[in-house]
Chains A and B, each alone.
Chain A
Amino acid sequence: MENIKATRMELLKLKRQGKTAQRGYKLLKEKRDGLMKKFMEIIRQTKAQRDFLEQKLSNASKQFALSTSNMLSGEVEEIFSLPSAKIKIDVETQNIMSVWIPKFQYVIEGDVKCYSDFSSPLGMAQSLTSFWDALALMIDLAGNEHSSRLLSYEIEKTRRRVNALEYVIIPEIKRKVKFITSKLDEQERSEKIVRMKIKEMIA
């Protein structure tokens, strides 16, 4: 409180600041709510997809590792050296309350089968099919989870700003305004008394 100049100029400045802070607070709060709404939409979907994928993939990758365990990794690479599967993917970025989130559109072409059954271990085909089935899900989930992650960073930032405004900056400004007003009033009163006294002395 000591370093505030109790002047009319300062008071006007503070009042202006208070108005801006109030307005920013309202806007940011709306932004936070908007982000939250979108986040909730995405996260519900993501959670379900994630559970499903987890189950599917961990089984498949274990199976794959087992069936290729007696091969060198070079050999496995050789089997897959000419994959016929191709993923055509296009991405659009969408702006939600200043957060850019990706949206994917994809076409999966070809087939996972790009090798001869004679040159590959038996169990491999089965695990590859599970991977193949999970591919579309993985792409969807990647988009969704990444979007929700990006949104969550922004939500965190916005929430902090809202809280800072609500609990620190706005109360501070209000306190300062109150201090200056009371000081100015006090000055006015004392001047009035002085004038009255002088008038009395003259009369």
Chain B
Amino acid sequence: MRIGILGDNKSVLAFGALGVETFGVSGQNELLEAIQKIKAMDFVILLITEDIAQNYEQTIRDLFQETLPACLVIPGVNKDSSKAKEGLKKILERALGSENFIN
């Protein structure tokens, strides 16, 4: 069982020291390759940096719908987009029909 991180090359570097397997990608093709590798191995947690989650939303969408690996969007090196927070908002919206149900 492994933990992996998928992100741009700069953001994933630090995670190498934590015992997390890193997948640095910089383009659509590399991303697809990485996803294929991830699916082939027994990853249980996959961290995804905000940039990737934002720029390649379509590509990684089906990763989010499977039980494993559990995906988590984390802030990366680049300027913070609020994508990670947005994800949580979307979850709330989908479940409740409105996001302002709990604060």
Distance of B15 from chain A, by nearest CB (Å): 7
Extra inter-chain contacts (16) besides given A43-B95, A47-B88, A64-B14, CB under 8 Å: A50-B84, A50-B88, A54-B75, A65-B10, A65-B77, A73-B9, A87-B18, A93-B68, A102-B67, A112-B18, A114-B17, A139-B3, A142-B46, A142-B72, A155-B95, A159-B97
Please judge, given known A-B contacts A68-B13, A155-B94, whether A91 and B18 are in contact too, CB under 8 Å: no
Residues of A126-143 at the interface with B, using a CB-CB cut-off of 8 Å, are 127-128, 131-132, 135, 138-139, 141-143
- B19 near A86 with CB under 8 A, answer yes
Distance of B66 from chain A, by nearest CB (Å): 9
- B17 near A152 with CB under 8 A, answer no
Q: Does B60 contact A (CB under 8 A)?
A: no
A44–B87 Cα gap in the complex (Å)? 15
Q: Which residue on chain A has the smallest CB distance to residue B93?
A: A152
How big is the B interface, by class? 35 or more
A139–B13 Cα gap in the complex (Å)? 18
- A128 near B92 with CB under 8 A, answer no
A134–B22 Cα gap in the complex (Å)? 17
Q: Does A184 contact B (CB under 8 A)?
A: no
Please judge, given known A-B contacts A54-B84, A89-B44, whether A73 and B65 are in contact too, CB under 8 Å: no
Residues of B18-51 at the interface with A, using a CB-CB cut-off of 8 Å, are 18-20, 24, 44-47
- B10 near A91 with CB under 8 A, answer no
- A89 near B14 with CB under 8 A, answer no
- B67 near A89 with CB under 8 A, answer no
How big is the A interface, by class? 35 or more
On B, residues with C-beta under 8 Å from A are 1-3, 9-11, 13-20, 24, 44-47, 64-65, 67-68, 70-72, 74-77, 80, 84-85, 87-88, 91-92, 94-95, 97, 102
Instruction: Report which of B17, B80, B102 forms a contact with A128, defined as CB distance below 8 A.
Output: B17
Q: Does A172 contact B (CB under 8 A)?
A: no
Q: Does A166 contact B (CB under 8 A)?
A: no
- Against B, the Cβ 8 Å flags (1 = close, 0 = not) of A106-149 are 00101010110000000000011001100100110111011111
Residues of B with C-beta under 8 A to A83:
16-19
Q: Which residue on chain B has the smallest CB distance to residue A100?
A: B67
Can you show 26 pairs from A to B with CB atoms below 8 A apart? Answer: A43-B102, A44-B102, A53-B74, A58-B75, A62-B77, A73-B13, A80-B13, A85-B17, A87-B3, A93-B67, A101-B67, A102-B44, A112-B17, A112-B18, A115-B17, A131-B14, A131-B17, A142-B45, A143-B70, A146-B64, A146-B70, A149-B64, A150-B67, A153-B65, A155-B94, A156-B94
- B88 near A46 with CB under 8 A, answer yes
Residues of A with C-beta under 8 A to B94:
152-153, 155-156
Residues of A with C-beta under 8 A to B10:
65, 73
Residues of B with C-beta under 8 A to A76:
13, 16
